[in-house]
Chains A and B, each alone.
Chain A
């Protein structure tokens, strides 16, 4: 006995009801449950769909699909980090190297020329606050794109969910606000490190907030063969 298309839809609903919100994972779990149910029907044809479905679900253990979801997210986050790294390496073509170095030199010169005191710290903190605000705005924009989407993909959610990166911008901002940094603010090496940090963060913002999301479709098609089929 084979599962009917209606029962397949029922299984999709079932996975959604068990907090599997991403289609890529739903697809795999639905096929697994369907195979298990069909196998049970071979031995016990009288077994009803609901009972067979619950028996199959029990095999996932007391936490149900939870562990599968958590581990899948970890695996996808790892893949995402790989995507960032790939784009970071691709960034270093000649015109971009010159542009990036110009930014580093420009910020370094600005830090060197500013009068000693709170102003310098204020400007550096201001740049990081600015980065965080751009990131928040971009996250809001990208999240809107996902709203009402017929199907959600885990990697798409990770790509569009840029909120976590804001924490990354707050770390250097706090460093600048620490009092021990006061005596270093006029140190040339510290200024150079700060310039490199600011440009690196800006580059991360550009890659994660703009470059990768603009290629989301291409990345999703490359990651999920089912993206084009479904």
Chain B
């Protein structure tokens, strides 16, 4: 029988690689989707990464609250079914920050690719 905790652990271990990029992932998702709520973000990331990446709840909300305190996200509340739901969306500052963080991430990926898979050439 597969232990349920071990699955969570395995995924958390895997997600360590993504930890530094969590904020950028959130900003990018909000840039594409307009506004999202916490649970929706976790599900969307799972769906896009085909279950490979699991943003843990304990990491998601602190990241959202930090981005909100930095003025990158704005909050909207709506009544859905029988409860209130908090939606996050990018502020103007957040939109600019998303562009710069994505460019930074792309640079990082390019550098990593060069380091991991260098193309040697004799000149």
**Chain A residues in the interface with B (C-beta under 8 A):** 2-5, 8, 27-32, 34-36, 39, 58-61, 63, 67-68, 71-72, 74-76, 78-79, 82, 224-226, 229-230
B57 part of interface (Cβ distance < 8 Å): yes
Q: Which of B37, B58, B82 contacts A67 (CB 8 A)?
A: B58
Q: List 20 A-B contacts (CB under 8 A).
A: A4-B82, A27-B83, A27-B84, A28-B61, A28-B86, A30-B83, A32-B39, A35-B39, A58-B8, A59-B8, A63-B58, A67-B62, A68-B62, A71-B61, A72-B61, A75-B62, A75-B65, A224-B75, A225-B76, A226-B86
Q: When A28-B61, A59-B8, A59-B56 are in contact, do A71 and B37 touch as well, CB less than 8 Å? A: no
A71 touches B65 (CB 8 A): yes
Contact flags B14-43 to A (C-beta < 8 A → 1, else 0) = 000000000000000000000001111001
Interface positions of B (Cβ within 8 A of A): 5, 8, 37-40, 43, 56-58, 61-62, 65-66, 68-70, 75-77, 79-86
Q: Which residue of A lies closest to B61 (CB)?
A: A68
Give CA–CA (A34, B80) in the complex, Å.
Answer: 11
Given A67-B62, A75-B65: A32 touches B79 (CB 8 Å cut-off): no
Partner of B69, one of A2, A3, A60, A76: A76
Please, which residue of chain B has its CB at the minimum distance from the CB of A225?
Answer: B77
CB-defined contacts of A29 to chain B, threshold 8 Å: 61
A71 CB contact (under 8 Å) in B8, B38, B62, B75: B62
